[in-house]
């Protein structure tokens, strides 16, 4: 993006990777540079311009695809792996902002995705507060502020938190989970006791 202002900034790169429930990446993914209006590039602040210059994205913009071409490419990839609408959640770091831009520029993608999201930033922030040792050892980012690289970083980060913070699979048995829920809620559980 050329910035975070939904009224004035432009989506300039989009990527997608679908994973299975074990975070294995399915296929090669898709990564598309989008050619923005000149005004969107001109109004970028210095921080964003520097970031996109260092990553090489700024040089690629003139040869970018149209928004419609980018949307079609993303939809084709997602639908190949998740053909049924409303099954796949949007995932990544701080995906609330991504979803706002996708809603504006790629409505068919948002309509195909589930309304729920998997925001790795939430897990990161909770880990920082509750599991500081794990948080401070989390993997370094390598994506270089490019869409596909950042998604790969998010998947790696989620894999890390799964092993370092979440209890080992398959988790507690039902009786233990119910005891935890009763302790936390004062007796209320979602499912009837077994």
Residues designated as active site: 115
Shortest CA distance to 74 belongs to which of 28, 14, 24?
14
The C-alpha atoms of residue 179 and residue 183 are separated, in whole angstroms, by 6
At residue 36, what are phi and psi to the nearest 5 degrees? Answer: -90, 170
Helix axes 147-164, 120-130, angle to 10 degrees: 40
**Cα four-point dihedral sign 47, 49, 50, 54:** positive
The C-alpha atoms of residue 112 and residue 102 are separated, in whole angstroms, by 11
What is the C-alpha separation between 40 and 4, in angstroms, rounded?
Answer: 12
- For residue 134, give the nearest of 163, 170, 91 by alpha carbon: 163
The pairing of strands 13-19 and 25-33 is antiparallel
């Amino acid at each position: 993006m050329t910035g975070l202002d939904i009224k004035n900034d432009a989506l300039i790169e989009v990527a997608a990777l679908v994973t299975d429930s074990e975070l294995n990446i399915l296929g090669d993914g898709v990564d598309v540079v989008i050619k923005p209006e000149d005004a969107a590039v001109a109004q970028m602040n210095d921080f964003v311009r520097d970031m996109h210059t260092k990553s090489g994205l700024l040089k690629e913009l003139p040869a970018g695809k149209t928004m419609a071409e980018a949307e079609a490419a993303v939809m084709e990839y997602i639908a190949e792996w998740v053909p049924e609408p409303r099954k796949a959640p949007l995932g990544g770091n701080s995906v609330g902002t991504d979803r706002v831009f996708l809603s504006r520029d790629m409505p068919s993608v948002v309509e195909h995705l589930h309304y729920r999201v998997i925001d790795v930033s939430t897990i990161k922030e909770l880990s920082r507060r509750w599991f500081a040792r794990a948080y401070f050892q989390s993997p370094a980012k390598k994506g270089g502020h490019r869409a596909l690289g950042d998604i790969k970083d998010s998947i790696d980060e989620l894999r890390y938190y799964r092993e370092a913070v979440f209890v080992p699979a398959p988790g507690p048995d039902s009786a233990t989970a119910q005891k935890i829920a009763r302790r936390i809620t004062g007796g209320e559980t979602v499912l009837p006791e077994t």
